Amino acid sequence: METMALAILAVTAVFVLFRYRQRKQSEEFPPDLKSAPESTGLKSSAPLRISTLPTGTTTVAVSHVHKSFNGTHAVNDVSFEVRSGEILGIVGPNGAGKTTAIRMLMDIIGADSGQITILGASAGQDTRDTIGYLPEERGLYRKIAVAESLRYMAQLKGLLPEEAGKVRDQWLDRLGMSPHKGKKIEQLSKGMSQIIQLAATVIHDPELIILDEPFSGLDPVNREMLKTIILELKECGRTIILSTHQMNEVEALCDRVLMINKGSVVLHGELHEIRSRFRNNSVFLEYNGSIDNLPGVAEVKDHGSYVELFLNQDTSANQILSRLVERGVTIDRFEVSTPSLNEIFIKVAREES
Amino acid sequence: MKKTMIIARHEFSQVVRRKGFYILTLGLPFIAFLGLFINDIVQDLDKEPDTPDHQNIGYVDDMGVFTGYTQQANLTFIPYPDQDLAQQDLMAGEINEYFVIPESYLQTGLVDRYTTERELEVPLKTWYQIRDFLLNNLLASEVNDDLLNRAKNPVQLNSWHLDETGAVSEPPDELQAILVPYFFGLLFIMSIFMTSGYLMHSVTEEKENRIMEILLSSVSVNQLLRGKIIGLGIAGLIQIVIWLVTIRVFLEVGSVDISVLEDIQFPPSMLLFGVIYFLLGYGLFSVLYAGLGAMSTSPRESQQMVGIFVMPAVVPLVLMSVIGENPEGGIAQALSFIPITAPTTVMMRLANINIPPWELALSITLLASSIALGLWLVARMFRAYLLMYGKRPTLREIVRTLR
């Protein structure tokens, strides 16, 4: 009888101890709601655990990959490569197949056919710990404190508990989120929880980082912070795949672009090469004087405060600039027209349809 | 395995830090015993009318032979010349009820009883009182007292059970046959449902909060599922152990006087197979519930779908009397082989009999195989539906996925 009573007491004691431990852990990070600043910001002075990797080797190789759902081709014969230290922007409209392609890279869904090689390992081999993934549909445990949540995520990526705690604190400090680490995720703003998600993505110092729509839900300050971090990771030799439909962010960050529409690759190459390929040989000009009958100009389009000069095929912008100077035209602005990625995308999408 | 254990530890810590877990684990035994105490008290209160004030029962004797033996303990039979007078006195509250013995009584045995009480059936006590009155009047002059008493109570049946060797074993009493299996079946199925419920809640919550894709970028579906099953299974096992230990303690502590539980014996085999069947039963239900969680868009929706599995799982409890009275019968055997009903049925049967080893082996094999098959199917569903947000798959889509 006594044994039974002791057993109950022992089990109850285990529970009480467990509760005490949980409480003690949360007390280590007391939620200081009054003093904690609501905004976040990058603290450049804080040390960051990013090792430097060699660049130029192939990190991701995708070859003729297909995936269909119920007879619909979500991804159709997609091939591309990403080299280490490079940022690849995957762009395309909603439903183009970007997320499906990324989920196949992560081996979350399997490809119907084709070959995917990541860091030298083919599909089926576990490369999860070397990849940091921020999915488009993302969240964290709402009832769990930031610190605990991040440590769990880090441990799932193969970090030991002590190491996980140390790196977590470094990242929180770096992101200006240290005052919030005792708070539950549900107590944070949407932007803040996005920052925590970013920390969870890179906490294990991955070689390959895949970010699906990383800018959605971020205010301009946090958007700039994210850009800085992405560029910093690139500097350290990390390979980054960035999926977004915000073309301006791609233009600002990416080395190469993969444009997908209706599951197929419609454009792939280096960003500057693509832009020069789609250049329409025109210049924007704000001036004072006469530009009538200027040799080499096929058409002049008036935009109000400035004009756009469409040049003949054999005329360069330099030649036009010389002719304007020779004529004695006062030039306030002379800009070679380069199409934005957005314009290129619209043009390609129209041609495709 | 390392990641599986990390997930298991996380899931365990998430469940045991909930207040609801403590309330349920430590509170349920107390609530159950409180219920039994109340039951005892209610029964005691119910017994009070057994010794009521004196009762008067009227009767109209059309045969004209029932004139004596009108006194019984706290009861007087009052003769009436006709039914009108008897009814008048009944309505006036002079008598509690009356009955009419017709002329054809000896041929038909029919007696008409009139009462102002609302009752579903004739109270057994009243039936005995009227029977004794009739028997006394009919036989007292014909036979001696012993014969008369034996006629009133002709048989005390003792039934003995012979085992395979022909040895006589103790006859199971009604309490042991019905209450113990029911109690264990209920406790068992409750634990399994609750523990599996934790798992379903965990899956749907992670799906709803969009954590699932992040998790699947760190671990495989099988690691995730295994970790959850282990972590939450340990929590459930601790819960059931606490309940069982509490019951033992309450039974052994002399100061607890609950008449219903006094005679309960726990066969030792129940403990061993209790653990085995709990683990297997939990394994099966957690796999099924995880599948439901993967398909649902919210915890509320998954709760609504749970009935699909709860209904067949409680069949053994519905058939409690059949299994309790005939634990070796065809129905009990069949339910032991159907994976979804096997854990409860086997526990209910083990309370009364030693189930043949081949039956246990077959039952355990079928149950374990169904878990393996379930895991394979659920892993497919996880891949297909965990990343489907805000939309529930149609039956057709589910069938296509499982093929």
Q: Which of B6, B214, B387, B389 to mutate to test the interface with A (most CBs of A within 10 A)?
A: B214
Inter-chain residue contact A137 with B389, CB threshold 8 Å: yes
Inter-chain residue contact B215 with A197, CB threshold 8 Å: no
Q: In the prediction, which pLDDT does A324 show?
A: 93
pLDDT tens track for A257-270: 999 988 899 889 99
Q: For each of the domains in chain B, give its residue range(s) and CATH number, in order of start.
A: 55-152 (3.40.190.10), 172-402 (no CATH)
Q: Does residue A34 register a pLDDT over 50?
A: no
Tell me how long chain B is.
403
DSSP summary character for residue A64: E
A206-233 burial by CB neighbour count: b if 16+ within 10 A, else e?
bbbbbbbbbbeebeeebbebbbebbeeb
3-state secondary structure chain B: CHHHHHHHHHHHHHHHCCHHHHHHHHHHHHHHHHHHHHHHHHHHHHHHHHCCCCEEEEEEECCCCCCCCCEECCEEEEEECCHHHHHHHHHHCCCCEEEEECCCHHHHCCCEEEECCCCCCCCHHHHHHHHHHHHHHHHCCCCCHHHHHHHHCCCCCCCCEECCCCCEECCCCHHHHHHHHHHHHHHHHHHHHHHHHHHHHHHHHHHHCCCHHHHHCCCCHHHHHHHHHHHHHHHHHHHHHHHHHHHHHHHHCCCCCCHHHCCCCCCHHHHHHHHHHHHHHHHHHHHHHHHHHHHCCCHHHHHHHCHHHHHHHCHHHHCHHHHHHCCCCHHHHHHHHCCCCHHHHHHHHHCCCCCCHHHHHHHHHHHHHHHHHHHHHHHHHHHHHCCCCCCCCCHHHHHHHHC
User: Residue A39's pLDDT band (boundaries 50, 70, 90)?
Assistant: very low
Closest alpha carbon within chain B to A124: B220
Least Cα separation, residue B21 to chain A (angstroms): 11
pLDDT tens track for A224-276: 888 988 998 998 888 999 998 888 888 889 999 999 988 899 889 998 888 88
Q: In the prediction, which pLDDT does B69 show?
A: 82
pTM of the predicted model as reported, rounded to 2 decimal places:
0.70
pLDDT tens track for A108-138: 888 889 999 988 877 656 788 889 999 888 8
Q: In the prediction, which pLDDT does A28 show?
A: 45
Inter-chain residue contact A128 with B218, CB threshold 8 Å: yes
Closest alpha carbon within chain B to A197: B214
Q: Report chain A's mean pLDDT, rounded to a whole number.
A: 81
Closest alpha carbon within chain B to A11: B242
Complex confidence, ipTM: 0.73
Asked if A211 and A32 touch (Cβ cutoff 8 Å), the reply is no
Parallel, antiparallel, or unpaired: how do β-strands A307-311 and A297-302 relate? antiparallel
Inter-chain residue contact A1 with B249, CB threshold 8 Å: yes
Inter-chain residue contact B6 with A152, CB threshold 8 Å: yes
Percent of chain A with pLDDT over 90: 25
User: Residue A26's pLDDT band (boundaries 50, 70, 90)?
Assistant: very low
Q: Does residue A23 register a pLDDT over 60?
A: no
Question: E strands along A236-288, which residues?
Answer: 239-244, 256-261, 264-270, 282-288
pLDDT along chain B (403 residues), means of 10: 90 87 81 75 64 80 84 87 90 90 89 87 86 86 81 79 73 62 74 81 83 86 88 85 77 56 62 82 86 79 78 85 82 91 86 83 94 86 70 70 65
Q: In the prediction, which pLDDT does B26 show?
A: 81
Contact residues on chain B for A8, CB-CB shorter than 8 A: 242, 245-246, 249
Inter-chain residue contact A11 with B238, CB threshold 8 Å: yes
Inter-chain residue contact B213 with A22, CB threshold 8 Å: no
Which runs of consecutive H residues, i.e. helices, occur in A87-211? 98-105, 146-156, 161-174, 190-202
Inter-chain residue contact B245 with A139, CB threshold 8 Å: no
Asked if B194 and B236 touch (Cβ cutoff 8 Å), the reply is yes
Question: Which of A12, A139, A153 faces B210 most closely, judged by CB atoms?
Answer: A139
Question: In the numeric block, which tokens belong to residue A73?
Answer: 């081709």
Asked if B163 and B95 touch (Cβ cutoff 8 Å), the reply is no
Inter-chain residue contact B22 with A15, CB threshold 8 Å: yes
Contact residues on chain A for B3, CB-CB shorter than 8 A: 156, 158
Q: Which of B1, B24, B217 to mutate to test the interface with A (most CBs of A within 10 A)?
A: B217
The better pLDDT of the pair B32, A300 is held by A300
User: Residue A30's pLDDT band (boundaries 50, 70, 90)?
Assistant: very low
Which runs of consecutive H residues, i.e. helices, occur in A47-145? 98-105
Q: In the prediction, which pLDDT does A41 show?
A: 52
Parallel, antiparallel, or unpaired: how do β-strands A87-91 and A256-261 relate? parallel
